Amino acid sequence: MRILVTLFLLVALSFAKINTEIVTLIKSARAQVGVTTTYDPSYVRIKYPMGDISKSRGVCTDVIVRAFRGVGIDLQKEIYLDKKANPKRYKGLYYTDRLDPNIDHRRVKNLQAYFEAKGYRVKGKFLPGDIVVWKLPGSNLDHIGLCSNKLNRDGEPLIIHNVGAGAKEEDVLREYKIVDHFRIFK
């Protein structure tokens, strides 16, 4: 009986940790709403690691990068190290294949390549904390956002993203063509 109780507690603690990471990830993304008010894709030299542009500015990838920093994951560093160790994974995704810690983590295709390599791709229902990648209509541009814990009328998550007017939390999951889906915390 003691073994069962201990096992139950260990399982419960592991779920609590995962739920805490998802909640923190979403809180970190949501904290950008009203702060990141300008869409700015400019190339900016930033420090490495943990570099960032002004919090008032950014693009869709900055929402993701900043959210992950809230749970102690520096995607700038992780992608730089992964691209350095596995250049073929990133070859041909952009006009240059050289390493650049100022911009590599701020590109949707690089985030996709990294998340795929880590085995985070999933199919099916969208859950809070999931990462979604779309193709924007009429432009063929990539876009990325984070599933919120707030749901729409159909029970699907709202999306925290920056598609041109600063960070927002909106009901746009099905507004664009979904091309990828990742779940980092299970």
Taking only the tens of pLDDT, the chain with its 186 residues reads 555 333 333 333 334 444 899 999 999 999 999 999 999 999 999 999 999 999 999 999 999 999 999 999 999 999 999 999 999 999 999 989 999 999 999 999 999 999 999 999 999 999 999 999 999 999 989 999 999 999 999 999 999 999 999 999 999 999 999 999 999 998
Residue 9's pLDDT is 34
Residue 18's pLDDT is 47
| Number of Cβ atoms within 10 Å of the Cβ of 88 | 8
Spatial CA neighbour of 168 closest among 143, 185, 186: 143
Q: Name 145's Cβ contacts closer than 8 Å, sequence gap at least 6.
A: 60, 63, 64, 131, 132, 134, 159, 160, 161, 163, 172
- Annotated domain spans of the chain: 2-182
> What are residue 135's DSSP bridge partners?
142, 177
Residue with tokens 């950008």: 32
Q: Which CATH superfamily is domain 2-182 in?
A: endopeptidase domain like (from Nostoc punctiforme) (3.90.1720.10)
Per DSSP bridges, beta strands 142-151 and 157-161 are: antiparallel
Residue 8's pLDDT is 39
How many helices and strands (H and E) does the chain possess? 5, 7
d(C-alpha 178, C-alpha 175), whole Å: 9
Residue with tokens 């983590």: 105
Single pTM value for the model: 0.89
